[in-house]
Structure 1
Amino acid sequence: MADSRYQKPPQAPPTFIATPESIIADTKRLISISKDLRDAMVKDVKPEDATFKSVILPRAQDDNKGALEAHRIGFYQAVSTDKALRDASSEAEKLMDDYGIESSMREDIFKLVDVAFKKNEKLDPESRRYLEKDHKSYVRNGLGIPAGPKRERFKEIKKRLSDLSIQFQKALNEEDGGLWLTPAELDGVPKDVISTLKVGDGENEGKVFLSFKYPDLFPTLKYAKDPEIRKKVFIANENKCNGNVPLFKETIVLRDEAARLLGYNNHAEFRIEDKMAKTPKTVDDFLGDLRTRLAPGGLKEIKNLLSVKQKDLEQLGKSSEFDGHYYLWDNRYYDRLMLEQDFQLDQEKIAEYFPLKTTIRAILYIFEELFGMVFVEITGEERDKISETGKGNDIVWHEDVQLFSVWDDEGEGSGFVGYLYMDLHPRPGKYGHAANFNLQPGFIQENGTRRYPATALVCNFSKPTPKKPSLLKHDEVVTLFHELGHGVHDLVSRTVYSRFHGTNTVRDFVEAPSQMLENWCWTPSQLKSLSKHYSFLSDDYRTAYEEDAKAGQKPSETIPDDLISSIIKTKHVNDALFNLRQLHFGIFDMMCHEPKSHDEIEAMDVSATYNKLRKEISKIEGPEVQGAKWDWGNGQATFGHLIGGYDAGYYGYLSSQVYSQDIFYTAFEQNPMDGKEGRRYRHTVLERGGSQEEMQTLEDFLGRKPSTEAFYRELGLDG
């Protein structure tokens, strides 16, 4: 039972009781309210009387209230088991996007905003920032283009881009392909993975269905001994969403056209203008410098991995199959083999110490100690008590979902913070990666009271079996820490306007707080505190473990020091190749959005460009070495980031690491559990969201301008 102070949240959690019909009706109602407000504003406010209070504030408050419903309406498409509900959610998102485009191009409203902007009223800093962003957004949404055919074309492009984005993500969410394979073909893949696969009948009798979901795909690429099977799986996964190929191409062509209509040289120039980097040249220089620094290390790592491959084939009696090439479908397999052979890294053994539920609890405890928070899981009858409907099932969207109320601890005042949801296992139709979704933003309501946020962690970790709970590989522990980092950012943010709440920062900063927290997963004391061998969780698990374990083998309750040591030693093994892979994504993103001319982007063979660039940057080879054409795969068609907001922004995953490592080395390297520094970080960085310039936020915390020194030091490269 939770402490009595933490039993009665002052705000009920959101409900998830929508129907396909109600989603569309609610969307139309929200749009109508918003449109009526703007129509009344144009009617009632004379241009000369336009002020922040009469023109900006009412729309900001409308956005605040609308987001309480709109975020949930769009969320159903990522998590609902009901296809009709997912479809309605996608349709609702289209309606909202179309209205948003129309609204953002209203010249009558812009004229009022422009007057208010030029009055230069004395405002609090966050309101001033809102006014500046609001004014600029109208210009960036086409009102800088003279009225006429060009502006109409711009609007047409914006609507089409919205449609393309929704179609692209829907295809990814609903992708349900895979391969029927025999157990013999999956030789080497852990039996825990194979035991969860669907068993075939009829023409597929004797086979199992390997989907492209992460819990199936990654272990197969890591462990399947047959290189032809790994190749088959790898190429099939690259081609799992080929319907997205024309959507991707149309998207980048239209983005370029729209940017040129606005007077920019390309889409990257348009997008990066408002980010920390400011110009594409800054991004290109950063990525180019990093590529130059990493390239020698990548070649050295491939040479070492080729040696592992040659020895492996010799031991398998297949020396004749060694052709001196290192392939894309080799990488996960031989990376894993090297870690096991050279560093005694046994991922399966390590995973035994990270059962999902206890690992989550341990991570939350770290956040409690660092940031002054309390997480209280809400289950059973407690859900009924806090639900607005009196039904606990109404406040979750699926039976697997965990729900926590989140509070400040006594030192922070014991106040309510918000709600945290966790949806952690794959299922048909669900978002296929790991992400944090804001369900309801926090903000200050019109009566001056605080509206509290709700945020959801959506992941795809393996499901428990009768003999074992869901067990996390170390890289999955890192993923969990990272995404929960986004969740905490979303929860503790304290902004006046929802526009700046939580992770609503510029894209080349948003990853930094979560990347910073990944360092805890590489700290011996924290790994020890996160761990608990699953056989200690229940008598049934202990019995099952003893049946499977070697005679007399008894595990320690927490992860032993030798396993921790093996994890720490491998932190930067093949790190150059990992970062070159990130560079491939980032540079491909810039190539798609930084063409010299519109003709150049129209003529681009996107699939060939994607695959050639990967070979050039990573030096890892694909089927082209064996005679295939460069368009053998369509990886860009599965690259949701570039359609969903990271366009001309994927570099942010790398540039954010510069900031994240600077923060960690400055404040937490000596003592990762320093609660004083943790609370200072919470109040100085996380609480501010996007309510001020992100560079200012960084400088406030660091006490100086950020430096690349820690980033390059962490990578083992001289700064």
Structure 2
Amino acid sequence: LVGEVVRAPPSAAVVRLLDDISDTLCQVLDAAEFCRNVHADEEWRRQAQQASSLRDLPDCLGSSMQTESQTLCKTAAAAPLLSIPEEEVLVGRMLQRDFERYGVHLSGSQRDRMTHLVHRGQALGMQFTHNVLDPAQLGSLELRGGLAEAASRLPHHLQKRLRPLAAPGGGGAVQGLACLADTSMLQSLLRSSRDEGLRRAAFQACHRQPAANLAVLDALVEARHEVARLMGFDSYSAYQLDSFSLASRPAAVAAFLRRFAADIAPKCEEEAAEMARLKRLCSGSTGGGTAAVQPWDRHFLMAAARSGEEAEALASLPAYLELERVVEGLSDLLRRSMGVQLQERALAEGEGWAPGVRKLAAVHDTDGFLGVVYLDLYRRPQKFPSAAHFTLRCGRSLPDGSYQASCFPGPALVLHFRCLTIVAFLALQVEMLFHEFGHALNSLLSRTRFQHLAGKRALCCTRGPLDMVEVPSHTLELFASDPRVLSLFAAHRSSGEAVPPRLLAHLEASKRRWVALEQQTQLQYCLIDQLLHGPDPPTGHAGEEQVADIMRQHSALGHAEGCHPHIRFTHLVGYGATYYSYLYAQCLSAAVWRDHLAPNPTGREAGELLRHRLLEVGGTGGSTAWGRAGGVMCGAASDPACLPTLACVAPAPAWLLQPGGAKEAHCMVEDLLSSPTTSTSTSHSSSSSSSASSSGSNSSGGLCQAGGGWYPDPEAMLRQQHLLPA
């Protein structure tokens, strides 16, 4: 395939050949990455780690990559004369951009250095994630004296996870209790322990171990910063966002985070004051402790806030949320709204990678088979530590006109639920399943001619707007909390009774109670991410101190000195410089829900809008976006100065020229939020609407301009979550 590209004259066939190369590599690399993270067999994980070395193959092609890049330039320049279709032009420019982002235009020594840094960054990212799972790195939480006594009063299911702590010197003497300091156990202690000292010990272990991750993160940040400098950017954040995102510039992200912080601050203070009141009420029965609310009190007080009636009601909720019913309800929702059904299929021999893996075929009522989704829902050792979606094969059109669906191996959803005879979900777990299934739908329903543009990967692998990647998942997550959707699957496992309205009211109240503090936690992670990938990324003690400053400034519950909130935050690996996209997506999906879905979320009109405007288009931006942006992306293709290259300076602003970037994201958002909405009277909305209007934003005020880029107006999300007055 590489030889064919090198020998080929400028033509649309060049783009197809390069997409073939990309598809061939991705089928191997995606499967290897998946097995490395989730396979239950250690030998499979080891072999998958070795297979991941194929990532180096493009670098080994050396001069071939330069020739391919030159061929792409010639193809793009000749596009109007050769009548090359728009999608081929877009893919060609994206591939050209990818070559240049990884240094194909650099001198020999600089390109070698770039290759080294990219590989080093990948290895460090793997090490960071591995340390969060490795018992040797996590160590133990050792409880002696009063802490051991407090642990003996824990719920029985937690006591079973404790082991005797032998006294020094042996002899069979026991001096306390101990447990593995893994995230699951420590979070359980934070929620369940009535003893503040035990909660403090668990919190400190969770935010100080694995200590090795501080040095790993420093090295990762330094490698990324050097990559950015080699490419002519002052920061990794600027390198990541430049024309690859709705934000486009770090200044736009900073403006958004400042506004978001100011918007939620009053509600955060209210919730912190309510926690202080609760702690005073609980202090007589929790073994004393400090008077002020501390970070380690948060999860315990959240649980304690539930009144007797509310706690009793919510304790009965899992009886209405069986796994089988939830999956059936999800299938029913997709059938009603998009004509898609999920059908259980048996695993072929060797197709699974762990006990309990399930296979669901997605079938459309007119388009037929769409692909396969695998569910891997249960906890086990050495499994990827977070809920995740892995795309194992992208769809694309084949030369004979058929479509390469996301068939085996297809998208896989990896979550962490307890393995029970009858799996009963919590409401949060239902939302988590819907969230990850939103990513899977993006893969299954994408209908692009090239796999390079297909599904979630087209939005998260430098192929499209990075900060649009979470919009499908957050949008589907909103369905899971709507009573009209819950009615499709929430029924009592014994009686078949629907969820009582009183229980739904308690659920809604419990979700609203601490939402500001939850969002403030996300804000902290976004700010830390931007700090570590900024123009002068701090490392060592300076980095720890500046992270602590963020916590002191943006935590209504204060900062625990000597603790590192990001030491187990694995999204710093996969979402380096772009974690803000989670908040962006919440804002955008809330606006989509308000403008299009709220009246009838289970209706076909709402589902078809999501399918055609958001899911099918992958990284192409959609037909409406093409209509508005096509002149910028393709109309000037005969002008070499308009080629999206980092090696030379184009005469027009780069964000207007780059495919899959700010302009396309802007058009995608306009397309999604095309319904007119009534203006609001808040000061933020007034200023945002004015700013957005002057910069060419849509009429609904859904986008605001700042610092040379864009951010979504957070008003819809803030009102949806009751963080602003109705």
1:669 aligns with 2:669: no
227 and 518 in structure 1: CA distance in 2 versus 1, 3 angstrom threshold: same
Paired with 1:352 and 1:489, the residues of 2 have a C-alpha distance of 31
What secondary structure, in the 3-state scheme, does the structure 1 residue paired with 2:389 have? strand
Q: Does 1:100 align with 2:58?
A: yes
What residue identity is the alignment partner of 2:666?
Answer: M
Cα separation, partners in 2 of 1:217 and 1:498, compared to 1, 3 Å: farther
Q: 1:190·1:219 contact (CA, 8 Å) conserved in 2?
A: no
The whole-number CA distance in structure 2 between the counterparts of 1:418 and 1:264 is 40
CA distance in 1, matches of 2:485, 2:158: 28
| 1:155 Cα deviation from its structure 2 partner | 2.5
Are the equivalent residues in 1 in contact too, given 2:447–2:454 (CA < 8 A)?
Answer: yes
2:281 and 2:569 map into 1 onto residues whose CA distance is 35
SS at match of 2:538: helix
Q: Which amino acid aligns with 1:289?
A: R
Q: 1:104 to 1:638 in 2, by over 3 A?
A: farther
**Structure 1, gaps ≥5 residues long:** 1-36, 384-391, 537-554, 625-631
Residue 285 of structure 1: aligned partner: 255
C-alpha contact (below 8 Å) 1:436/1:455 kept by paired residues:
yes
CA offset digits 1:441-476 (Å, max 9, x no partner): 1111233221111111101111216xxx33322212
Q: 1:394 corresponds to which residue? A: 350
Aligned-residue offset at 1:430:
0.7
Amino acid in structure 1 at the alignment position of 2:611: R
Q: Distance in 1 between matches of 2:439 and 2:183?
A: 21
Matches within 5 A, 1:630-709: 632-644=562-574, 646-692=575-621, 693-703=664-674, 705=698, 707=702, 708=713, 709=715
1:345–1:563 Cα contact (<8 Å) kept? no
Task: Please give the TM-score of this superposition, normalised by the length of structure 1.
Answer: 0.81
Structure 1 residues 237-316: aligned runs within 5 Å: 237-273=206-242, 274-316=244-286
Partners of 2:62 and 2:258 in 1: CA distance: 36
Equivalences for 1:277-356 in 2 at 5 Å? 277-316=247-286, 318=287, 321-323=289-291, 325-340=292-307, 344=311, 346-356=313-323
**Does the aligned pair in 2 maintain the 1:61–1:446 contact within 8 Å?**
no
Aligned to 2:342: 375
Structure 1 segment 144-293 matched on structure 2, within 5 A: 144-145=105-106, 147-175=107-135, 177=138, 178-179=140-141, 185-186=150-151, 190-192=155-157, 197=161, 210-211=179-180, 216-273=185-242, 274-293=244-263
Q: Distance in 1 between matches of 2:488 and 2:376?
A: 23
Name which of 74, 87, 91 aligns with 1:130.
Answer: 91
Q: Distance in 2 between matches of 1:159 and 1:304?
A: 48
Aligned to 2:546: 609
Q: Cα distance 1:293–1:58, how it changes in 2: closer, same or farther (>3 A)? A: same
> Would you say 1:477 and 2:430 are equivalent positions?
yes
- The 8 Å contact of residues 351 and 472 in structure 1, kept in 2 or not, is answered as yes
Q: Which residue of 2 aligns with 1:620?
A: 557
Are residues 1:143 and 2:104 paired? yes
Distance 1:476 1:395 in 2: 26
Identical-residue share of aligned pairs (%): 22
How is 1:534-613 mapped onto 2 (pairs within 5 angstroms)?
Answer: 534=493, 536=494, 557-595=497-535, 597=536, 601=538, 605-613=542-550
3-state secondary structure, aligned to 2:411: strand
- 1: CA distance, partners of 2:173 / 2:302: 32
Structure 1 pair 187/528, CA: closer, same or farther in 2 (3 Å)?
Answer: farther
Cα distance between partner residues in 1 of 2:178 and 2:424: 21
Counterpart secondary structure, 1:576: helix
The partner residue of 1:438 within 376, 385, 391 is 391
How far apart, CA to CA, are the structure 1 residues paired with 2:522 and 2:91?
33
Give the direction of change, closer, same or farther, for the CA distance of 1:478–1:175 in structure 2 (3 Å limit): farther
148-157 or 172-181, larger mean C-alpha shift: 172-181
* Kept in 1: contact 2:29–2:55 (CA 8 A): no
Instruction: Please report the TM-score for the alignment, with normalisation by the length of structure 2.
Output: 0.80
Structure 1: distance between partners of 2:271 and 2:234: 38
Structure 1: distance between partners of 2:153 and 2:590: 37
Q: What is the distance in 2 between the residues matched to 1:634 and 1:200?
A: 28
The alignment partner of 1:460 has SS state of strand
1:493 and 1:686 in contact (8 A); partners too: yes
Deviation digits for residues 648-679 of structure 1 (CA, Å, limit 9, x no counterpart): 10000001112101111111111221122212
2:525–2:566 CA contact under 8 A, matched in 1: no
Amino acid across the alignment from 2:486: L
The Cα shift of 1:346 comes to: 5.0
Report the Cα offset of residue 258 of structure 1: 1.5
Distance in 1 (alpha carbons) for counterparts of 2:59 and 2:206: 35
Contact 1:524 1:568 in 2 (8 A): no
- Once the 2 structures are TM-superposed, how far is the Cα of residue 332 of structure 1 from its aligned partner? 0.8
Partner of residue 552, structure 1: none
How many angstroms apart in 2 are the aligned matches of 1:220 and 1:529?
35
Equivalent residue of 1:529, what SS? coil
Partner of 1:490: 443
List gaps (5 residues or longer) in structure 2.
Answer: 167-171, 460-464, 622-663, 676-697, 703-712
Per the alignment, residue 724 of structure 2 pairs with 717
* SS, match of residue 639 in structure 1: coil
Distance 2:186 2:335 in 1: 34
Which residue is 2:26 aligned to?
Answer: 67
Residue 113 of structure 1 is matched in structure 2 by 72
Cα displacement (A) at 1:623? 3.6
> Which residue among 1, 7, 11 is the counterpart of 1:51?
11
Name the CA distance, whole Å, in 2 between partners of 1:68 and 1:85.
17
Stretch deviating more after TM superposition (304-313 or 522-531): 522-531
Residues 401-412 of structure 1 mapped to structure 2, 5 A cutoff? 401-409=357-365
Residues 359-385 of structure 1 show CA distances to partners (whole Å, capped at 9, x for unaligned) of 232223222222211111123xxx4xx
Change in Cα spacing, 1:464 to 1:558, as seen in structure 2 (3 Å) is: same
Q: Is the 8 A contact 2:342 2:361 kept in 1?
A: yes
Evaluate the alpha carbon distance shift between residue 280 and residue 414 of structure 1 in structure 2; reply closer, same or farther with a 3 A threshold.
closer
Cα 1:345–1:334 change in 2 (3 A) is farther
Change (3 A) 1:305 1:296: same
- Deviation of residue 124 (structure 1)? 2.5
2-structure distance, mates of 1:424, 1:438? 16
Task: Please list the CA deviations of residues 164-197 of structure 1 after superposition, one character each: whole Å capped at 9, or x if unmatched.
Answer: 12222333344574546699634675545556x4
Deviations 1:383-413 (A, max 9, x none): 4xxxxxxxx231211221011111012xxx1
Any conservation in 1 of the 2:446–2:618 contact (CA below 8 Å)? Answer: yes
Amino acid at match of 2:256: F
* Aligned counterparts of 2:502 and 2:159: Cα–Cα separation in 1: 29
SS of equivalent residue, structure 1 residue 557: coil
The answer on whether the counterparts of 2:479 and 2:601 sit within 8 Å (CA) in structure 1 is yes
How far is 1:208 from its partner? 7.9
The offset of 1:309, in angstroms, is: 0.5
- Superposed CA offset, 1:602-642 (max 9, x none): 56633333333223211323442xxxxxxx23443322111
Q: Which amino acid aligns with 2:97?
A: K
Q: Partner of 1:570: helix, strand, or coil? A: helix
Alpha-carbon distance, 1:292 to partner? 1.2
Give the alignment's Cα RMSD to 1 decimal: 2.8
